[in-house]
Structure 1
Amino acid sequence: MASINPLRCLFSTASSSLRSAPPKASIVRTSACAFSTTPRLKDSDYEFEAAERPRWQQTPPRMMAPYRIRPQARGGVFKVNEDPRRLDDAYIRMLGEGGNKVLGEEVKWLAVTHKSFEHGKRGFNDRLAYLGRRVVELQTSQALINSPQETQWPRDQNGQPMPDQFGRKPFLHPALSGLQGLTDEAESLVLDKTRLAQLAERYGLDKVTRWKPKRADNLKGSGIESVLMTSLYAIVGAVALERGGEVANKVVQDKILAPLGFKFASDI
């Protein structure tokens, strides 16, 4: 019996299918092999059934691994919030009455989803947090400039600079009184990770932020402070995108900087 050349079979089958050009999917058969000419399905065809559910509720089927390749994490399993009512309560506590309606449904979940959750398959809040951090840093710098700063020059009981041993005199001007607030040290003290994480816990973001800790029995060691700070920034960034910079600035002043000890003209 003569041997069959696989390459010859493949090219003869392909040329035969091109000559016939069937309008629908078909299978061209020869005496030696069968070659399918079924057109490749589009990505949307695979996710047709999943498209009816919003992205935040599920991981896209094509992005799910068929089996687990890593062992279960030590310290138990961290349960992630899936209750929309609990999420709405957190937004109301942070943004005030009606805060659950400030953002769209998809964005509300995206702003509290860390990239460690489902390996980022449902989307994550890094870009929102990047924008929100810039808004918070700008408002913090303006607040520090307008706040009284301690001078490095020693002063007497009348508040006047004491004479220097070398005869130097500092240049003092009202426009430069808040210049020390523009340093990185001053800003880092205000926007400390621990302080912002405590503020996020006050608003209940620790109960609704979706992430996957390294150890469920050691959330602090797994980096929960950084995760909560990212969620806080992401909410500000989402508000800036959907409601505008003026609303986002107001949120930063009233809900972040005011609890940290700053006073604004509207509060006086």
Structure 2
Amino acid sequence: MALNSSLSTASATFRALRQCETPARSVARRLGPPARQLSTSAPRNNEPTETTVEQERRPRWSYTPERMKGPGFSINIVKDPRRTIWHNNEDPAKLDVMYNRLLGSKGHRMLPDETKWLAVTHKSFDQGRRGFNTRLAYFGRLIISFEATRHIMVSPNAAQETPSPDPFGRVPFQHPSLENVDKLVSKQPRTTVSKDKLSKLAMDIGLPEVIRWKPKMPEDLETSGIKVVLNTAIFAIVGAISLQHGAEVAQQVVREKILRRVGA
């Protein structure tokens, strides 16, 4: 009895499948052969287009990548259209002159072309689409701060006033290894390489003429923060030299090309 029930159930299922299959075949005959599927992948063509060849010939710093460009308009409402006009340097020879003034003769050869432009590019330039020097500046700032601290510690100690005697007769602990550390009480690294001193050095080497940035108010560069931008560029150059040639070369550049010029 159980076997007959299973056979009857299987036959009923088979008949139901045939009834469903018949309309589907009729619909397929009316529609005809299947249409060709469209592929969303790019055609397999190894031959580069004319636009690609032209972009590969241009250096990376000289143009904005096509895929990073927007729709051609900005949602920002400009109150004063005159503030949108600002011209940046695009002459590599002018940039090399600045590097030679800072690093000495043939100083422009210390860094590759892309890195030279990246070190002087602020994040406000071209909306940051060509890269900017923030991370290089962070690394270079640590190197300059370290060299300034070491310069203070190895410099001769200035004449200090004789401390007044302790009323309880206590004698402070003294050790030759701690004598240099005590010099940091009277002089700090941030005063040795202050923002104003580095800005003056940047002015002397012609950095404002080659730095790439977009000031908020072109008519007032001081309020737009040009000192911070110049300091960032100097930090970034030091950081790039350290990554390119090592810490020893970068420390020598800081001691000879920066600390001596700022009056340290």
Q: Same fold (TM over 0.5)?
A: yes
Moved more, 61-70 or 81-90: 61-70
User: How many residues are aligned here?
Assistant: 226
Shift in alpha-carbon separation, 1:73–1:212, aligned structure 2, 3 A: farther
**1:103-137 CA deviation, whole Å, 9 max, x = no partner?**
11111111100111001111111121122112112
Structure 1 residue 140 displacement after superposition: 1.2
Q: Which residue of 2 aligns with 1:60?
A: 65
Match of 2:229 among 227, 230, 240: 227
Shift in alpha-carbon separation, 1:253–1:214, aligned structure 2, 3 A: same
Q: Which residue of 1 aligns with 2:254?
A: 252
Distance in 2 of aligned mates of 1:255 and 1:66: 45
TM-score scaled by structure 2?
0.75
Shift in alpha-carbon separation, 1:211–1:105, aligned structure 2, 3 A: same
2:217 aligned with 1:215: yes
Shift in alpha-carbon separation, 1:60–1:183, aligned structure 2, 3 A: farther
Q: Which residue of 1 aligns with 2:117?
A: 109
Distance in 2 of aligned mates of 1:50 and 1:139: 41
Q: Which residue of 2 aligns with 1:237?
A: 239
Shift in alpha-carbon separation, 1:162–1:247, aligned structure 2, 3 A: same
- Secondary structure of 1:122's partner? coil
Structure 1 residue 192 displacement after superposition: 1.8
**Pairing of 1:171-210 with structure 2 (within 5 A):** 171-182=173-184, 186-210=188-212
Distance in 2 of aligned mates of 1:214 and 1:185: 35
CA contact (8 A) 1:76 1:217 kept: no
- Percent identical among aligned pairs is 42
- Secondary structure of 2:87's partner? coil
Match of 1:95 among 94, 99, 103: 103
Which amino acid is 1:68 matched to? Answer: F
Larger radius of gyration: 2
Instruction: Name structure 2 gaps, 5 residues minimum.
Output: 1-30
Larger helix proportion, structure 1 or 2? 2
Shift in alpha-carbon separation, 1:170–1:184, aligned structure 2, 3 A: closer
Shift in alpha-carbon separation, 1:259–1:180, aligned structure 2, 3 A: farther
